[in-house]
A and B are shown apart, each in its own frame.
Chain A
């Protein structure tokens, strides 16, 4: 809980040197939300500075996302653990010659338990959704879509939810008072009204998606044992619900338009990739017009830049080798993948999608 600070005089950068503020941005709790909302009510004229600070945190987090996602393969983790255990066994033998057999027996039990140890299987048959909704105070509003068509729901904050068949959505009685939290079982697409002071949270199984104002889809049918989040516009972060496993840090994934993440309930891993059919990103903040994709002797680098910017997806290629490549083609109505196929066919290259980005292999026009 923040101690009484003279926040009124804080600049945006000052807020970022305050542990209470940063902690609230990284993992908001009930008490901290109460504190900051109260503070904003008390000092409404400081709201713009507070807002700048919030955006700075988001920017720094976005810039450090590659660092946060630094990957260490499971195989390396496993081998390193074996090495550590070997060293421990050896020094145990040195220290006390008797008793090492007991240790070795215990070590083999650890190994036998293997990966399955990490996933505590739910012994009760209720779903996370049932448990979360039951725990809510007051009378929550629940919508169940038992029909065969998508059902539109308007939330009190004017956000729109398109609820897929066989899906349920609940929001608590105090929705919008402190923050905006909804609970989902099944699939829904959200168009969230922008309100920076009240982030919007979607709880689906043990996965939480946090947004400010954007359009995205969450799919979490309990029987599918996975949760999928796709972003159509804006930026969202997705992380595990901490109460589900208090030991795990809220390791999250940042999603940009045309990216999706699949959370596998059994391996507890996030897998980030492109959506199957990327769409051109319509962004109200950008004055730039969507390109027409009509090309006459246009350098390939220009074509690839158009595609990159329109879809917000990175494309990597060998700039020198493709320097003299040109394209004559109209691709206005082609999909993202069709456009890439046309480009690659023209220059004799192939493409693959790795980790949410496009890599163009080969091709030469020299």
Chain B
């Protein structure tokens, strides 16, 4: 049974298929949710709960998604954003697109300080990635860990495909320039 068949079985009320879908995707949903709102694990788990119970309630009316991981991550993000906007932001939130513009880009000195405590290549790159604007990090995670295509990333992040590519392009160019200028000057990279 492939994942689409599993989905259709779940839609017909097969609880084993439903549980299997949960087991297949709960870890990815958790790590993606935590990267959006790291502050509260309980909140993220609540949202995962809401997504799955809503799926069950609406199962007869759902279409079969092409990419189920993508469908679930998008549903999770919608749920998280919906609750956050209702609870914590009585006023209209910043447009997501504006947010990156407010992100102060760290200068080389701040980057160096950030890297001082990092001892392995993995830690160094991890810290560099953490210096990127949050939306660029999110796009990197969706493309290189969750293996979504740019069209799907755009849907999750509410931008068009080209903007999703631009997020990754800017992140990669920044990482590359940091790696080249900093590591070649001060560190042995390997």
Interface residues, chain A, CB within 8 Å of chain B? 12-14, 16-17, 19, 22-23, 26-27, 56-57, 59-68, 70, 72, 76-77, 80-81, 83-84, 87-88, 91, 106-107, 110, 113, 117-118, 246-249, 254, 256, 283, 285-288, 305, 308-309, 312, 314-315
- Which residue of chain B has the shortest Cβ distance to A251 in the bound complex? B27
Taken together as a complex, chains A and B put the C-alpha atoms of A83 and B125 apart, in Å, by 38
Q: Is B53 an interface residue (CB 8 A)?
A: yes
What's the least CB distance linking B15 to chain A, in Å?
5
A81 touches B22 (CB 8 A): yes
A91 touches B57 (CB 8 A): yes
Chain B stretch 131-161: residues in CB contact (< 8 A) with chain A: 140-141, 143-145, 147, 149-150
B188 touches A286 (CB 8 A): yes
Taken together as a complex, chains A and B put the C-alpha atoms of A308 and B121 apart, in Å, by 12
Q: Pick the contact of A17 from B147, B169, B179, B188 — CB < 8 Å?
A: B169
B147 touches A249 (CB 8 A): yes
Across-interface contacts of A309 in B (CB, < 8 A): 119
B26 touches A63 (CB 8 A): no
| B-side interface mostly | helix
B145 touches A64 (CB 8 A): yes
Assuming A22-B143, A88-B56, A247-B2, what are 13 further A-B pairs, CB within 8 angstroms? A14-B169, A63-B122, A63-B128, A68-B31, A70-B27, A70-B34, A72-B26, A77-B26, A80-B49, A84-B49, A256-B120, A314-B123, A315-B119
Taken together as a complex, chains A and B put the C-alpha atoms of A184 and B109 apart, in Å, by 49
Chain B stretch 30-78: residues in CB contact (< 8 A) with chain A: 30-31, 34-35, 45, 48-49, 52-53, 56-57, 69
Q: Do A283 and B190 contact each other (CB < 8 Å), given the known contacts A19-B149, A88-B56, A308-B119?
A: yes
Taken together as a complex, chains A and B put the C-alpha atoms of A117 and B53 apart, in Å, by 22
Across-interface contacts of B143 in A (CB, < 8 A): 16, 22
A63 touches B129 (CB 8 A): yes
A56 touches B119 (CB 8 A): no
Taken together as a complex, chains A and B put the C-alpha atoms of A315 and B23 apart, in Å, by 34
Q: Is B172 an interface residue (CB 8 A)?
A: yes
B16 touches A110 (CB 8 A): yes
Q: Do A314 and B35 contact each other (CB < 8 Å), given the known contacts A16-B169, A17-B150, A110-B15?
A: no
What's the least CB distance linking B9 to chain A, in Å?
12
What's the least CB distance linking A85 to chain B, in Å?
8
Taken together as a complex, chains A and B put the C-alpha atoms of A57 and B179 apart, in Å, by 13
Across-interface contacts of A248 in B (CB, < 8 A): 24
Taken together as a complex, chains A and B put the C-alpha atoms of A361 and B173 apart, in Å, by 40
Q: Is B168 an interface residue (CB 8 A)?
A: yes
Across-interface contacts of B16 in A (CB, < 8 A): 110, 113, 117
A80 touches B15 (CB 8 A): no
What's the least CB distance linking A37 to chain B, in Å?
22
B120 touches A312 (CB 8 A): yes
Across-interface contacts of A91 in B (CB, < 8 A): 53, 56-57
Across-interface contacts of A17 in B (CB, < 8 A): 150, 165-166, 168-169, 172
- Which residue of chain A has the shortest Cβ distance to B6 in the bound complex? A247
Taken together as a complex, chains A and B put the C-alpha atoms of A143 and B116 apart, in Å, by 49
What's the least CB distance linking B135 to chain A, in Å?
15
What's the least CB distance linking A132 to chain B, in Å?
21
B125 touches A285 (CB 8 A): no
What's the least CB distance linking A343 to chain B, in Å?
16
Taken together as a complex, chains A and B put the C-alpha atoms of A66 and B130 apart, in Å, by 12
Q: Is B19 an interface residue (CB 8 A)?
A: yes
B175 touches A60 (CB 8 A): yes
What's the least CB distance linking B111 to chain A, in Å?
14
Interface string of B77-114 (1 = CB under 8 A from A): 00000000000000000000000000000000000000
Taken together as a complex, chains A and B put the C-alpha atoms of A220 and B31 apart, in Å, by 31
Taken together as a complex, chains A and B put the C-alpha atoms of A242 and B35 apart, in Å, by 27
Taken together as a complex, chains A and B put the C-alpha atoms of A305 and B116 apart, in Å, by 12
Taken together as a complex, chains A and B put the C-alpha atoms of A67 and B127 apart, in Å, by 12
Taken together as a complex, chains A and B put the C-alpha atoms of A307 and B129 apart, in Å, by 26
